[in-house]
Amino acid sequence: MNVKTVEKIVQASFFRYGWQLERIHRLRPMYVKPSLITPAFIGRVTGDRRGNYKIDGGFSVLHRGFEQSWWNESRNIPLPRLAFDPNALFLHISNVQDVSAASFLSDGSDAASAEHFCLTLTSFLDRFPQDIESLRHAFTTNTMAGIDFSKYIPGSSYDPSASRKFEQLKNYVFRN
């Protein structure tokens, strides 16, 4: 068993729950639904020599209309040392106890543990906004999926444009 095999097992589990792996413009590949506003999971599998695997990553919400607008405005601007645009906001997996606990796969050959992780993760993702009203409500209350925005990183901690993108998303949501 290796990381690529575990990734395929995880991806198959996501697909069974109706999630697809997609790369939108210059964002990192992420698991999303095909709707205009969708929760998103950006993650990767890591492993050690003993056959223990962990799924690391985080959560976001994606507004396809906003990302298209952002792309149109920024596509000619080179990315500083990065291959990806930042997400407008990002919540690391360690901030959600049950999802974080399920992210440790002790045996990479155990498809059941990958299935359990995906079920736990998609249940949490279902709490994210999936329409414009619930996204506006999240910005009004400063909480998303029951978690205060202070736990979220606007985009990423290493990219100063991420805070600007977060504010532009917020403005976009209330304008449209």
pLDDT in tens, 50-68: 778 888 988 999 999 998 9
Query: Residue 167: which pLDDT band, with cuts at 50, 70 and 90?
Result: confident
Is the distance from CB of 154 to CB of 165 less than 8 angstroms? yes
Q: What is the mean pLDDT of residues 37-50?
A: 88
Residue 175 lies in a domain: no
Nearest to 130 by CA among 65, 39, 53, 64: 39
Where in the sequence is the domain holding 71, given as residue range(s)? 3-170
Residue 176 lies in a domain: no
Residue 140 lies in a domain: yes
Query: Residue 159: which pLDDT band, with cuts at 50, 70 and 90?
Result: low
Residue with token string 């999802």:
99
Residue with token string 């985009």:
155
Average pLDDT, whole number, for the chain? 84
Task: Say if residue 76's pLDDT is above 80.
Answer: no
Number of compact structural domains in the chain: 1
pTM, to two decimals: 0.85
Q: Could you tell me which residues come within 8 angstroms of residue 121 by beta carbon, excluding any fewer than 6 positions away? A: 41, 99, 102
Task: Return d(Cα 50, Cα 25) in angstroms, integer.
Answer: 37
Residue 38 in tokens = 């969708």
Residue 48's pLDDT is: 81
Q: Specify the higher pLDDT residue, 78 or 34.
A: 34
Residue 150 in tokens = 């202070």
Task: Return d(Cα 154, Cα 92) in angstroms, integer.
Answer: 11
Residue 73's pLDDT is: 80
Is the distance from CB of 42 to CB of 87 less than 8 angstroms? yes
- For residue range 9-42, list pLDDT tens digits in order: 889 889 998 999 998 887 889 999 999 999 999 9
Is the distance from CB of 22 to CB of 38 less than 8 angstroms? no
Residue 68 lies in a domain: yes
Residue 61 lies in a domain: yes
Task: Return d(Cα 101, Cα 94) in angstroms, integer.
Answer: 9
Burial-class residue 31 by CB neighbours within 10 Å (0-12, 13-18, 19+): buried
Query: Residue 131: which pLDDT band, with cuts at 50, 70 and 90?
Result: very high
- Burial pattern 92-119, b for ≥16 Cβ within 10 A else e, equals ebeebeebbebbebeebebeebbbebbe
